[in-house]
Amino acid sequence: MAAFKDPAPADSRFDRLRAANREAWDAYVAHAFVRQLGAGTLPEPAFKFYLIQDYLFLVQFARAYALAAYKSDTLDDMRQAARSMRIIVDDEMSLHVKFCAGWGLGLEDMLRVPEAPQCMAYTRFVLEAGHAGDILDLQAALAPCVVGYAEIANRLMADPATRLDGNPYRAWIEAYAGSDYQGVAAAAVAQLDRLYARRAGQGRDAALARLFGAATRLEADFWQMGLDAA
């Protein structure tokens, strides 16, 4: 197995937010859904329901990055937000549709499914964080998803309990462990550091940690939603 590579450096703002929410973070990245996915034992109905909700989730996350562009006060921040939205709309959502087709799920089928309460709770929380706060608040709420998936994939690739040969979920694991997505996560970590340096100080640490922790718990709820659908 590969050695675990942490997508967030030890001195990054992300790492500090993660450390402030360690219990919630561990419950998210080591959730039973993730462990079963790595072992190849996750029930297929759980994964299919997750895939559908994840597509609906991406629609709302694209809106969140549009909001980040609106909240930006520099062209660099605006470009970063626009780049992230483009990746979601043009790349990730298209790949998601192709991936779902391999599981017998068509786009029209997915769009007919209503958003689950867990999906609505998470995405609307992120959007509300952005509307009520500034771009730093929004990035703190987005970070558990963007960077968390990179960490989860790296953990699975390094875990001896992970089975790749014959694992129906191998493509999912390898996609998030791949260099393209790892680059997306690294960019999110760096952006959080830049925003914090410009916009924050110790007086904002507690509020940012609460936002990050709430988003992390909602991520764990998203995994549980998949398991409960099996």
Cα separations in angstroms, 144 against 6, 40, 68, 87, 109: 14, 24, 16, 18, 28
The predicted pLDDT at position 202 comes to 80
The predicted pLDDT at position 1 comes to 64
Tokens linked to 90: 């043009």
The predicted pLDDT at position 3 comes to 83
Q: Tens place of pLDDT for every residue, the chain, 230 residues?
A: 678 899 999 999 999 999 999 999 999 999 999 999 999 999 999 999 999 999 999 999 999 999 999 999 999 999 999 999 998 999 888 889 989 999 999 999 899 999 999 999 999 999 999 999 999 999 999 999 999 999 999 999 999 999 999 999 999 999 999 999 999 999 999 999 999 999 988 889 999 999 999 999 999 999 999 999 98
The predicted pLDDT at position 2 comes to 75
C-beta of residue 72 within 8 angstroms of C-beta of residue 135:
yes
Domains in the chain with CATH codes: 13-228 (1.20.910.10)
Q: What is the DSSP letter of 116?
A: P
Half-sphere exposure of 20 (CA within 13 A, CB side): 18
C-beta of residue 36 within 8 angstroms of C-beta of residue 169:
no
Residue 164, exposed/middle/buried by CB under 10 A (0-12, 13-18, 19+)? middle
